Amino acid sequence: MRSMMRTIRHDPDVAVRDILVVCLADALVGASLGAIAVASGLPWWLPVLLSVVVFAGASQFVFVGVLASGGTVLAAALGALLINGRLTPLAFSVAPLLGDKAATRLLGAHLVTDESVAFATAATTTAGRRRTYWFSSIVLFVLWNLGVLVGTAVGSVVADSDALGLDAAFPAVVLALVMPALRDRITRRAALAGAVVALLANTVVPAGVSVVVALAVVVPIVLRRERSAS
């Protein structure tokens, strides 16, 4: 392990400092997720389990948000699955970096995130991309889960959850997660359509289901754009 870390530290193709900065920032987001979940009345182990099994920030926020607003587990799971589907093409893009063993490929696919793929594709050599992907993925997995665990502890010891401002923190964090994607004009239109549908649906369907209804409208728009671009 020490020799591998020495190799990575001295590899000019691995942006160690940038990776650590981004992962630490994500750990703070993970802490907010844990605090929001517990302060919303959900058991502390739920966001911790989600962070290990799902390991996808946007999907976890959707899942927790739907449950916290009174939605069903099914609605929360469907919403999270639809959001998490965007990682499928990213997994294919890094598949050559995951090796030939089934266990390694399965683990590598589980660790796919926007950040790890972005850092890996920025490297200039195949070996550098492989080392960057695994290094960034493992560091992010560890720090994200630690952040969520710390967040659950904070959320459980604060008597007045309103003092944390979590009602504003949740939409703020979600907005921060989606802002980079909104640079694309078609994505902005899809997001606007989804927001309008969610607001309208929220008046006639149970809490949380409006998210799934909105996603059912947004996904075909995005898929149509992908087909047009190919």
- Fill in the DSSP letter of residue 162: G
pTM of the model: 0.70
pLDDT (tens, 9 = 90+) of the chain, 230 residues, equals 455 455 555 555 567 788 888 888 888 888 888 988 888 889 999 999 999 998 988 889 888 888 887 878 888 888 788 778 778 778 888 888 888 888 999 999 999 988 888 888 878 888 888 988 999 999 999 999 999 999 999 877 765 555 655 555 556 655 665 666 677 777 777 778 888 887 888 788 765 567 677 777 776 766 666 566 55
**Which residue stretches of the chain are H helix?**
2-9, 16-39, 45-53, 57-68, 73-84, 87-94, 102-110, 114-122, 126-157, 166-178, 185-201, 209-229
